[in-house]
Amino acid sequence: MKKLKIITSIVAISFLFSCSDHEKADGYGNFEATEIIVSAEANGQLQFLIAEEGQTLKKGEKVGLIDTLQLHLNKLQLQASKATVASKSDGVWSQVKVLKEQLKTAEIEQNRIQNMFADKAATQQQLDRVNSEVDVLKKQIKNVETQNAPIVNEMKAIDAQIDQIDDNIKKSEITNPIEGTVLTQYAEAGEIVSFGKPLYKIANLDKMTLRVYVSETQLSAIKIGQMVNVKIDSGDEMKTYEGRIDWISASAEFTPKIIQTKEERVNLVYAVKITVNNDGRLKIGMPAEMWISE
């Protein structure tokens, strides 16, 4: 029994020394990335979708199309209606043009009669007649132009409907919003999709974000823009990356359940985000450690 106690004591002392010799990381967490779910903005059959899982897409790249046949047919119908309405307007402006030519002639005659009247070579009756003719032509022009106003408004309404269709056609083209890697594909070509249906999920994995949690006593040792070491498991050793602190939470929170023991989880900590360049080995959800200094 005494021999057993001696052996147990030796094992405990050895464990304590090994723990004291092992350096502890300054923060633990998991990698994450900004994930974007691209959804349909139109209703109809999905003609094609180039967004396979693991595929790298460029920003602004056209990756899919929802059927736009009915939209194009509606646009053609509106364009034909606009042409019909425009022909009415052309008739009105032709009348205005004729009346303006007549007004131009009448104003020349009015000017001539006024000069003659000043020289007492024309009568008051002649002057009144030419003035009346000019006034009548001006009123006729104004009345005809008033008739064109409803036509112009109708054309504006048709233009607005055409613009709306053009916008729907544009939304039927699926444009990739960011450069990144497709994580999940939710739809296949030939499916009927509706507004808001998820099509695929994408994230930029070139730069990963490690979210770690530090205690209040560690806050004085870190700052935004500071470079730190980030370590991941790599076989029997740890692989080290250089990271940059880009965000520190302004308020404390309880330690997440993923962190170590129950005692540690009830402590108040601050979240910290570290940006790390990805060489292809870093994955979303992968655990890692933050080391302020070695």
Q: What is the pLDDT of residues 104-122, one digit of tens each?
A: 888 998 898 888 888 888 8
Sorted by sequence, the CB contacts under 8 Å of residue 25 that are 6+ apart come out as 231, 289, 290, 291
b (16+ CB within 10 A) / e for 26-61: bbbbbbebeebebbbbbbbebeebbbeeeeebeeee
pLDDT at residue 12, rounded to an integer: 36
Find the mean pLDDT for residues 185-201: 96
pLDDT surpasses 90 at 268: no
pLDDT at residue 273, rounded to an integer: 96
Question: What is each CA distance from 125 to 107, 170, 243, 289, in whole angstroms?
Answer: 17, 67, 98, 106
Q: What span, in angstroms and rounded, lies between the C-alpha atoms of 273 and 208?
A: 10
Helix (H/G/I), strand (E/B), else coil: 220: helix
pLDDT at residue 32, rounded to an integer: 95
| 127 or 184, higher pLDDT | 184
CB 294 within 8 A of CB 229: yes
Find the mean pLDDT for residues 127-146: 83
pLDDT at residue 14, rounded to an integer: 37
Q: What is the average pLDDT value for the chain, to the nearest integer?
A: 85
Per residue in 19-31, pLDDT tens?
333 468 888 899 9
User: Which parts of 173-281 are beta strand (E)?
Assistant: 173-175, 180-185, 192-193, 198-203, 207-214, 227-234, 237-248, 253-254, 268-277
Per residue in 4-21, pLDDT tens?
333 333 333 333 333 333
What is the phi/psi pair of residue 224, to 5°? -65, 135
CA neighbor of 149 nearest in space, from 89, 90, 78: 89
pLDDT at residue 294, rounded to an integer: 56
Whole-model pTM? Answer: 0.68
pLDDT surpasses 60 at 256: yes
What's the length of the chain?
294
124-172 vs 69-118: helix axis angle to the nearest 10? 160
